[in-house]
Each structure stands twice: as C-alpha cells, then as structure tokens.
Amino acid sequence: MSGTVAVVTGGNRGIGSEIARQLVKLGMQVVLTSRDAAKGAATCKTINARHGTDGGQASTFKLEVTDAGDIGALAAQVAEQFGRLDVLVNNAGIQIDPKGSRALNSDLQTYRDTFETNVLAPLALIQALLPLMKKNKHGRIVNVSSGLGQLAEMSSGTPAYRMSKTALNALTRIVAAEVRGSNILVNSMSPGWVKSDMGGPYATRTLEQGADTAVWLATLPDGGPSGGFFYDRAPIAW
Ligand SMILES: NC(=O)c1ccc[n+]([C@@H]2O[C@H](COP(=O)([O-])OP(=O)(O)OC[C@H]3O[C@@H](n4cnc5c(N)ncnc54)[C@H](OP(=O)(O)O)[C@@H]3O)[C@@H](O)[C@H]2O)c1
C-alpha cells in the first residue's frame, strides 16, 4: 500500500478515526480531514505515534464537508502534495432528528441540514476528487451508509437520517455506473451499531468492527465489486 493516498472525512473521532488508523497501518498516506484543525492534528499524532513505523502516515486537513471552498482547497492540496488519490472515504455524517421524530410531525429544515452533510457533501467531494483518481486509473470510493437507509428494512424513526442514507446509497449506484470501466470502484457500507458518540455506549460493535468493511472496500483489488452495499464484507439488500 506504500505510496497510495487516501482521504477520510470526519477523521478526527469515531469510525472515521478508526478507518484512518487502519489505512495508515496498511502503509497508506492518509489525509485525515476534520472541521476542527486542532482535533484533526491531535488524532493524527495519536495514529502516527502508534503506526508511524509501518510506512504509512496521517496528516490533517481542515474540511467542513458542506463548504465548497474547503473542498476545492482539499483537492488542490492533495494534487500538489501527492499528485494522486487512490481512496476517498465519505465518512462524516450527522444524525440530528430530534428524539421521537416522525416524518409526519418533523421540521423540513432537519432534512435540509441532514442532506447537506450526508448526501450533497459526499457528492461534492466525489466531483472534486474523482479527476485525481481518473488521472491514475485507480480509485476506491467508500460511502459510509447505514442499515437505517435500507429500503428493504425501512421503518419509522429518525426519518431525515434514514432518507439521507438511502439517498447516499443511490449516489453510490449512480456514480458507480458513471465510472464503470475506469478502475474506480464505488461502494456503500454499513458499519452496524457502533460504540461512538453517534452510536452511544450501548452499541453492540467496536470501532474496529465498524471500520473493517470500509477498509476492505478501500483496498479492493482491481476487478473488485462496484455499486454494492456491504456489511461485514458481505453484500446486503438495498
Ligand atoms: N455509530 C453508529 O452506530 C453508526 C451506524 C451506522 C452508520 N454510521 C455512520 O458512520 C459515520 C461515522 O459515524 P460515527 O459513529 O463515527 O459518528 P460520530 O462519532 O458522531 O463522528 C462523526 C464525524 O463526522 C464529522 N462531521 C459531522 N458533520 C461534519 C461536517 N459538516 N463537516 C465535517 N465533519 C463533520 C464529525 O466531526 P466533529 O467532531 O467536528 O463533529 C465527526 O468527525 C457516519 O456517516 C454515520 O452516519 C454510524
């Protein structure tokens, strides 16, 4: 993996920081983005102290994923510093539905804000960073989705979050179709219910378990699956 370059959004904590750590451990140069530069730098320091001798390295870049200026600056920085990008993990996400929220009584602004972060930001990041993957004819895009976005299991509760993850899955399929044949593989994954600030202390899975499938998809060999939805390295229903 040495020489390969990855961008992980929302890398300062939770599942994103664990994905970044595992990619560094595999020897990648990881641009760990964080909307708070100091928090990103602190997470990089921890990762590099643990894995700096494995050949990989984490560096941070300040990225508010809903800010077009930040996204443009990130693409310019990656181009200048590395001249390539192999992996984009769209991990940053929010779940801001008020407790007990139902579609029938919810505020539309919650949906607008949720979609900005969970759907439109991944789209904007793909648009900005895909040229760097195309240049090298190598790319792996991982969209961190959720079982709550599965239409097959769709039910009530957290409606804005659920709808945003369903839309993110649609984005996965659309982009996968648009880049088919270019050695850029685009997939969605569900981490399961993971102990993080979002998942809470009663969640059943560790950060390591939650990050594993994203790392697997980020390191797929040429000819690997694209346009799929995975949980624990196995395909699941949309
Ligand atoms: N935990 C679960 O059980 C679970 C289950 C299914 C799916 N997921 C998905 O897994 C992903 C990571 O979740 P997590 O559990 O690690 O959540 P988390 O602990 O709440 O961390 C979320 C991360 O996203 C970042 N973020 C949120 N909005 C952002 C924005 N506008 N710009 C830049 N960064 C932003 C946060 O940055 P700050 O620190 O600055 O807030 C943080 O780094 C999310 O997409 C989530 O939907 C989680």
Catalytic annotation present for 231: no
Closest CA to 165 of 176, 177, 154, 175: 154
**Within 6 Å (CB) of ligand 1, which residues are found?**
10, 12-16, 35-36, 63-66, 91-94, 117, 144, 146, 190-191, 193-194, 196-199, 203
CATH number at residue 218: 3.40.50.720
* pLDDT tens per residue across span 197-209: 999 999 999 999 9
User: CA-to-CA distance for 8 and 142, rounded, in angstroms?
Assistant: 9
Catalytic option among 111, 161, 202, 231: 161
Range of the domain at 190: 5-235
Identity of residue 113: D
How many domains is the chain partitioned into structurally?
1
pTM: 0.98
User: Mutation test of ligand 1: which of 12, 15, 120 has the most ligand atoms closer than 8 Å to its C-beta?
Assistant: 15
* pLDDT tens per residue across span 38-58: 999 999 999 999 997 878 999
Give the angle subtended at the CA of 182 by the CAs of 178 and 184, to the nearest 5°: 80
Torsion angle (degrees, nearest 10) of CA 230, 147, 165, 162:
170
Rounded alpha-carbon distances, angstroms, from residue 53 to 25, 27, 56, 57, 208:
9, 9, 7, 9, 20
